[in-house]
A and B are shown apart, each in its own frame.
Chain A
Amino acid sequence: MIFKMCAERYAGALFAVAAENKELDAVTADIRTIDEIFEKVPEIRKYCLSANIATDNGKIVIEEAFIKYLKNAKCANTLRVMAENRRISSLPFLAEHFFAILAEKENRVTISAQFATEPDPEIVEKLKKKMSNKTGKVVELNLDVNPELLGGFILKWSDRMLDNSVKGRLKSLKKVIKI
């Protein structure tokens, strides 16, 4: 829990620095690289999350595993600061928060949509439009199919949820008739 919170702060700082120096694109590219590294080498994620990494070891790992591949000095420095402050465990969450801040800045919102069956492209378009009206932002839909919903869909974005599935309705019906 504390890792995520710290990651949010570092991401915020990095974003502010990048925006100030107009290096946002370069930094974003580097963050993507970090994300990729984590995806390709799951062991490194495990290593970062394991407790009690000696500062010196951490620094070496950061240099060898990440900074080698990074192009932007600000981004590399952020990682060094994190290693210095013994916050390597927050590193796996850095990208997530950075992208969230970026999306906020660019007025985008990512909505995860779960459908019971593969939805019509028409409906998806309609949904996008509706949600874009509702949130006032450019909507990116992450589609997903989950037959457990029986029918309908569930939308989740930031800290909101809109449950319009048959499963959800059955649940609220269950509450009303107190079974």
Chain B
Amino acid sequence: MKSSINPGEILDVLKKRIAGFEPSAEEDEIGRVLSAGDGVASIWGLNSILSGELVEIETDDGEIVNAMAMNLEEESVSVVLFSDYEKVKEGNVAKRTDSVASVPVGEGLLGRVVDPLGNPIDGFGEMKSSANSRVEVKAPGIISRENVTEPLQTGIKAIDAMIPIGRGQRELIIGDRRTGKTAIAIDTIINQKNCDPKERVHCFYVAIGQKRSSVVQIMEKLKKYDAMEYTTIIAATASDPASLQYLAPYSACAMAEYFRDSGRHALIIFDDLTKHSQAYREISLLMRRSPGREAYPGDVFYLHSRLLERAAKMSEEFGGGSLTALPIVETQDGDVSAYIPTNIISITDGQIFLEDALFNSGLRPAINVGISVSRVGGDAQLKAMKQTAGSLRLDLAQFRELAAFMQFSSDLDKSTKKQLDRGERLTEILKQPQYEPIDVFKQIIILKAGISGRFDKYPTVKLRLYQRELFAYVDKNEPDFMQKLRKVGELTDEIEKELNKIYDDFEKTFNPETMETGVDAGYTVNMALAMSQGHSGFNRDMLQLVERITGRELASPSLEEELEQIIGGEDTLEKDRFDKLVDSCLIIDSDKEEVMKVVFKHVAEKMALSTDSDADEIYSKLVAREEQTSTALSPFFSIPHIVSEGEDEFDMVIMRSKKGIFFSDAAPHVHALFFLFGSLDQRHFHLVTLSAIAQIIQTPTFETGWLKASGIEELRELILSSERKREKTGK
């Protein structure tokens, strides 16, 4: 609860409520608990109770435990308990409430985390709800429905291009554990941010049987990407009773239906229905309903069909709203023919199938486009996307057929080889990192480039760079074209012509070879991307770069976040300290061609003078660090850094070698060396310095400036000035 609530306000609220309170001695129908345990209880009495009606059970210490009637039997009523079921004892009085389960609905729920009964559990206090809605309602009929015609953009290239989802559709996301099912759902939510506010899709994420920590993580991520403001999370976590887990999707559906029925759009994600059916199985078995296949009760199909039927596109007369459902199902070892997966596959309008093998081979999202389908989304797909991606599926299918021959590539004929090359590039361009949904029109531009063969002239590893640069280029130079494409929505001859011109112009400026190929493909790609940030701003790759070179002693599980704060932050104190360090540090300028170890020895001796440490020790540490992973990040520079035993120590030695120092075959001529030497208590400053150096060497003119500088002072000035310049542009 917020502590800033004014006591006056509380009084006002209470006054109003108390004024409207009419004490009345109502006659209630009561029953008595015959037996209780494991989340269910059977009650004697309550002869006229309705199925699904809520029951209040008063425990011995006066607490009220809510329950819902599930089985109406001849002699007794079986209920599922929603909370502390261990407190319910035989003989407790159970009271009818005359109402079936209902939840608060309305705009007030957006941005909140609630339990399946609609109680907020995020600690932000009470919610404003517009109404209460029944949890179990019938799905809209035939008259009130319409075909799915509007697209729901997920922001994921592979899905929007090949498995398009329409508003009102039910598309299953299915795959083994840890194949990125939730990631697709979360990215889809994040992508709705870019939607026109009038067409905004309100998102409902239902977490069933998940860990509380994962729910928190998802909430944090959504907050971070500003997606929480139009999202509600309904959480029935693993520690909640099975009854709440069973109820969660239905109550979430009721909340989402409020938007569907008021002519707006909603998206609901059930994560996941496997756990939901397991919760229902638990309840059913405790209620002694007959078990069927895999011990699921007979109505487990109806359980999900009545839920997913509530997703619908309403016709204009009924407001034209929509509710799209993305149920998630977890398979065991890729077995889609298990009971629950087959059931849900048959209910939904298609499925996105994620595969373990693809995920582990680095293809993420790990969508198997061969068996993933969207049965109704095609009609909803944007025309321009349809024109672009029409042949994509086919190309990829052919590629997969031929992929087995890839290892004999030298013996293949030209056309096969070309097809293989094309497929490899298309596969590469369909890769997409998490939390980076792409606007559909940008997707069109990049896919069009791939399909029309523009990638064939670049190596596969450069394609992500191509995409990034192309987007930056279009943003900067061609906003008018994007506007036009958005407006027209299809690829007319004229637009296609313009687009081709844009590609040509862009490719003139794009030269992936400006980056030297390097020490370690990973580093180089990262560096290349980091350095290409000329106009697209900072930059996750930079972060990864620093993270990767950070020595083991300095690493921690939260390193990424820490670095992010350092790089993005405005810690002027530490930055001043870095400037001072540069001012005072030793700079060595060498004309000789040397090898690494000799240089290390030399520097170790110099370092030993300014600190209390032993030169040999420093030397052996430097060598050991180098053996861990190479500190030569590019053929041009290296940042050897070590942690000393002492306290409150930090020193830096900078070295320029005009002819270059031999590190390894991959880095034979390293020209700039930054030796860092600090004690563990200076860990933070160590990271600050690492980040600062990494940012300085990103300056495009750094390399030439470094080699041209005439003396030690000029080198110092170069470092300081690039640091300042960076700060200015950074703001």
Contact = CB atoms under 8 A, between A and B. Distances in A.
A25 interface: no
Interface string A1-15: 100110000000000
Most chain B CB neighbours (cut-off 10 Å) among A4, A161, A168, A172: A161
Contacts of B34: 1, 4
Contacts of A176: 17-18, 20-21
Contacts of A177: 14, 17-18
A173 B28 contact: no
Contact of B26 (A4, A5, A163, A173): A163
B71 to A, nearest CB: 13
Interface string A141-179: 000000000001000100111111000110011001110
Contact of B46 (A156, A159, A178): A159
Interface residues of B, number: 25
B75 to A, nearest CB: 5
Contacts of B27: 160-162
Contacts of A152: 25
Contacts, number: 50
Contacts of B14: 177
Nearest to B31: A159
B278 interface: no
Contacts of A161: 27-30, 93, 95
Contact of B45 (A1, A159, A178): A159
Contacts of A172: 21, 23
A173 B18 contact: yes
Most chain A CB neighbours (cut-off 10 Å) among B28, B29, B31: B28
Contacts of B126: 178
Given A169-B23, A173-B21, A1 B35 contact: yes
B76 interface: yes
B26 to A, nearest CB: 7
Nearest to A166: B23
Interface string B8-39: 00000010011011010111111100110000
B284 interface: no
B210 interface: no
B315 interface: no
B17 A1 contact: no
B91 to A, nearest CB: 11
B658 to A, nearest CB: 76
Most chain A CB neighbours (cut-off 10 Å) among B18, B26, B46: B26
Nearest to A134: B27
Interface of A: 1, 4-5, 152, 156, 159-164, 168-169, 172-173, 176-178
24 contacts: A1-B34, A1-B35, A1-B75, A4-B34, A152-B25, A159-B29, A159-B31, A159-B45, A159-B46, A159-B47, A160-B30, A161-B27, A161-B29, A161-B30, A162-B25, A162-B27, A162-B28, A163-B25, A163-B26, A168-B25, A173-B21, A173-B23, A176-B18, A177-B17
Interface of B: 14, 17-18, 20-21, 23, 25-31, 34-35, 42, 44-47, 75-76, 93, 95, 126
